[in-house]
């Protein structure tokens, strides 16, 4: 914490939330927060000259896989992925680590902050394993963090919906988020994972299919959880990984899913993987359907998306979508990890290599870029690679270059499978992102969609998480190596070196609920869980630095 003013003087400031678009300004910081300029006569204890530099809020990654059981399984399963990769050497005050597609915890913290990202959310944690995720996040330094809680195949949720007891759901959901000390409900292949648990190769094909045992459809799960989450007033109501990820023709499922939000706010994640036309299992007809989905998003203000780009190269696919893991394992013939968590979720992990000679992979790459270019309002589309699924978060600078530099984009497009240009409209898209728009899709937008009021901007009251770049014609170079990164007002990174490895805090929600529900949940545990009800919730001791983000219940 700074004890006197720190002034970042005279940089080109990008703060889209507050309408600042590259104007030369000073940023004043006190006690980890950005403050209004204190007026004439007040001198800052430290002034850093930012003349010529670009000053932005710290990056916010709203969808990545950085902590918890599946991430750690991927680490354990893939020594070969690390052996071929660089590593992080220990220094006097920073730990060593391994890289590859799934870096070790300390390495993740250092690499995110080194990239100028100061906040990241893990996208899929089974609540039964929440304690594990919290332990790993505590070992992930330098950034603020949190995670989403898997709810889309939770038996209590499905039972409440099947029994038409919305009151129970309204009690259970906040209880569950509070117990896990998680941030938002995450739906992964809602209902489909439960079908997978019942049948070999099991899955749902549409959102109107009935889920085994519970007489409930994915549509009901999506609508029910979305409605309830919005009623509770969660800062980020629902985060949805649609059914049928990766399948040709799945764009109809995605459209139906957006429809099933019934006008409530909802976020569709890694939508690139859900934007495909074509017949079932057919490479012949596989094509982009981004335009029709983007039209829907452009005309429905309740929907936001993150992209989930793929980039060419080798990575690890990891998902709460059990049947998807099996599918990928069969397609690529790789090793495969699968773990079903009782009453809650599934998990699939498989190595994957995206090749530019592959028509499917080339299209996936192009579709990701189409998404950024076809959404009119940059506040509603967020940069993500679903790290490490599409690529590592370390690919973000390259994506920025692809968006800001049409010539470069077209050059790369020429290197992919020749048929790609005929199956998508990327070649026709002339749009180039501005720095201001990049600032929106990498920090201001995701912070707003997450409901983090102190992130993603540089106005008074914001956390002093600030990234400073040296402008460069090649935007990849510019964004790869920030000159300075400040976290909570502390200079953490200077010239690619970690100066002060801060801890960073964990964000979670703690919504109110009717205590009556606990009796029901406790009976449920007694009957079906393998752990005791009293040992399930995360005790406060697991959170070392934490902040509760308040819910805002509507007046009605």
Partner 1 sequence: MATVTTDASQQEPELKIVEDATCTFCGCVCDDIELTVKGHEITQAKRACVLGKAWFLNHSVDDRPSCLIKGQPASVEEGIERAAQILTQSRYPLMYGLSDTTTESQRVAVSIADWVGANVDTTTSVCHGPSGMAFQGVGEVTCSLGEVRNRGDLIIFWGANPAESHPRHFTRYSLMPKGMFVPNGRKDRTCVVIDVRKTKSANTADIFIQLKPRSDFEALWTLRALCAGVELEAEQVLADTGVELAVWQDLMDRMKGSRFGVFFFGMGLTMTRGKHTNTEALLALTRDMNQHTRFVCKPNRGHGNVTGADNVVAWRTGYPFGVNLTRGYPRFNPGEYTASDVLARGEADAAIIIASDPMANFSERAREHLKSIPYIAFDPKETPTTRNAEVAFTVATYGINVPGTVYRMDDIPIPLRPAFDCHHPSDLEILQAIEARVQEIRVQGFQSTEENTSLRPARELPDGSIAE
Residues 286-345 that bind partner 1 (CB under 8 A): 326, 329, 335-343
The smaller minimum CB distance to partner 1, of residues 199 and 376, is found at: 199
Site for partner 1 in 91-120 (CB under 8 A): 91-92, 95-98, 100, 102-107
What gap in Å lies between CA 504 and CA 143, rounded to an integer? 5
Nearest CB to partner 1, comparing residues 31 and 135: 135
Question: Between 76 and 376, whose beta carbon lies closer to partner 1?
Answer: 76
- By CB under 8 A, the residues from 381 to 410 that bind partner 1 are none
Reduce the DSSP state of residue 320 to 3 states and report it. Answer: coil
> Which residues from 134-173 bind partner 1, rule CB under 8 A?
135-136, 139, 155
Beta carbons of 62 and 40 less than 8 angstroms apart: no
Q: Which of 31, 33, 87, 259 forms a contact with partner 1 (CB under 8 A)?
A: 87
The answer to whether 192 contacts partner 1 (rule: CB under 8 A) is: no
> Distance between CA atoms of 438 and 467, rounded to whole angstroms?
13
Pick from 36, 42, 470, 548 the residue near partner 1 by CB under 8 A: 470
The distance of closest approach from Cβ of residue 172 to partner 1 in the complex, given in angstroms and rounded to an integer, is 17
Report the nearest approach of partner 1 to the CB of residue 129 (Å). Answer: 7
If the CB atoms of residues 46 and 90 are measured against partner 1, the closer one turns out to be 90
Q: Give the closest residue to 143 by CA, choosing from 553, 396, 539, 455.
A: 455
Instruction: Supply the minimum distance, in Å, between the C-beta of residue 101 and partner 1.
Output: 11
The DSSP call for residue 187 is E
Backbone angles phi, psi at 267, to 5 degrees: -115, 125
By CB under 8 A, the residues from 212 to 231 that bind partner 1 are 213
Closest separation in Å from C-beta 2 to partner 1: 23
Position 201 contacts partner 1 (CB under 8 A): yes
Binding mask 419-458 toward partner 1 (x if CB under 8 A, else -) reads ----------------------------------------
**Residue 353 touches partner 1, criterion: CB under 8 A:** no
Number of residues that bind partner 1 (CB under 8 A): 73
Residue 539 binds to partner 1 (criterion: CB under 8 A): yes
Q: Does residue 513 belong to the site contacting partner 1 (CB under 8 A)? A: no
- Closest to partner 1 by CB, 329 or 423: 329
Q: Are 220 and 160 in contact (CB under 8 A)?
A: no
Pairing mode, strands 287-288 and 303-306: unpaired
Which residue from 418, 535, 545, 550 is in contact with partner 1, where contact means CB under 8 A?
535
Which residues 6+ apart lie within 8 Å of 177 measured at CB?
149, 183, 184, 185, 234, 508, 509, 511
User: What is the C-alpha to C-alpha distance for residues 548 and 191, in angstroms, rounded to an integer?
Assistant: 30
Shortest distance, position 496 Cβ to partner 1, whole Å: 6
Residue choice 27, 50, 55, 77 for contact with partner 1 (CB under 8 A)? 77
267, 232 Cβ separation under 8 angstroms: no
Beta pairing class for 466-469 and 54-57? antiparallel
Window of 24-32, 63-71, 283-291, 297-305 that interacts with partner 1 by CB under 8 A: 63-71
Q: Which of 144, 93, 114 is nearest to 484 (CA)?
A: 114
Q: Which residues 6+ apart lie within 8 Å of 454 measured at CB?
A: 33, 461, 462, 463
Q: Which of 7, 111, 131, 170 binds partner 1 (CB under 8 A)?
A: 131
Q: Are 286 and 306 in contact (CB under 8 A)?
A: no
8 Å CB contact between 225 and 238: yes
- Torsion 291-295-301-302 (CA) sign: negative
The token duo for 323 is: 């049947």
């Amino acid at each position: 914490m700074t004890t006197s003013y720190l002034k970042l003087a005279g940089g080109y400031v990008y703060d889209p939330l507050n309408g600042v678009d590259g104007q030369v300004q000073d940023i004043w910081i006190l006690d980890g927060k950005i403050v209004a300029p204190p007026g004439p006569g007040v001198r800052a204890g430290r002034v850093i000259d930012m003349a010529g530099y670009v000053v932005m809020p710290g990056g916010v990654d709203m969808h990545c896989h950085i902590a918890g059981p599946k991430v750690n399984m991927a680490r354990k399963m893939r020594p070969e992925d690390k052996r071929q990769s660089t590593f992080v050497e220990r220094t006097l005050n920073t730990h060593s680590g391994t890289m590859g597609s799934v870096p070790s915890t300390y390495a993740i913290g250092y690499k995110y902050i080194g990239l100028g990202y100061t906040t990241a959310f893990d996208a899929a944690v089974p609540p039964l394993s929440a304690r594990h995720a919290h332990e790993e996040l505590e070992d992930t330094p330098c950034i603020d963090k949190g995670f989403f809680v898997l709810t889309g195949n939770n038996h209590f949720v499905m039972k409440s919906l099947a029994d038409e007891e919305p009151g129970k759901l309204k009690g259970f959901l906040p209880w569950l988020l509070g117990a896990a000390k998680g941030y938002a409900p995450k739906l992964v292949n809602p209902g489909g994972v439960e079908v997978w648990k019942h049948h070999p190769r099991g899955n749902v094909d549409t959102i109107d299919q009935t889920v085994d045992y519970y007489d409930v459809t994915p549509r009901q799960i999506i609508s029910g959880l979305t409605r309830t989450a919005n009623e509770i007033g969660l800062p980020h109501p629902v985060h949805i990984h649609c059914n049928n990820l990766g399948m040709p023709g799945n764009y109809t499922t995605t459209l139906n899913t957006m429809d099933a939000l019934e006008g409530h706010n909802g976020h569709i994640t890694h939508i690139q993987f859900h934007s495909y036309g074509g017949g079932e299992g057919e490479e012949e007809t596989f094509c982009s359907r981004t335009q029709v989905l983007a039209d829907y998003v452009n005309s429905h203000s309740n929907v936001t998306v993150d992209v989930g780009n793929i980039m060419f190269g080798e990575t690890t696919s990891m998902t709460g979508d059990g049947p998807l893991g099996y599918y990928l394992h069969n397609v690529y013939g790789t090793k495969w990890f699968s773990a079903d968590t009782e009453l809650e979720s599934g998990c699939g992990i498989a190595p994957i290599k995206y090749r530019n000679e592959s028509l499917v992979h080339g299209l996936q790459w192009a579709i990701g870029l189409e998404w950024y270019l076809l959404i009119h309002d940059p506040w509603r589309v967020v940069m993500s690679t679903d790290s490490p699924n599409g690529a590592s978060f370390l690919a973000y600078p390259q994506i920025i270059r692809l968006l800001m530099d049409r010539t470069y984009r077209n050059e790369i497009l020429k290197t992919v499978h020749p048929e790609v240009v005929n199956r998508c409209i990327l070649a026709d898209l002339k749009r180039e992102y501005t720095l201001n728009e990049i600032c929106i899709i990498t920090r201001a937008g995701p912070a707003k969609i997450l409901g983090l009021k102190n992130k993603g901007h540089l106005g008074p009251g914001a956390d002093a998480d600030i990234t400073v770049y040296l402008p460069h014609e090649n935007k990849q170079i510019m964004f790869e190596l920030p000159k300075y990164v400040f976290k909570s007002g502390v200079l953490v990174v200077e010239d690619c070196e970690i100066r002060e490895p801060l801890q960073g805090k964990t964000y979670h929600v703690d919504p109110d609920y009717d205590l009556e529900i606990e009796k029901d949940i406790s009976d449920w545990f007694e009957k079906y869980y393998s752990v005791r009800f009293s040992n399930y919730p995360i005790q406060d001791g697991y959170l070392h630095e934490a902040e509760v983000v308040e819910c805002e219940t509507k007046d009605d």
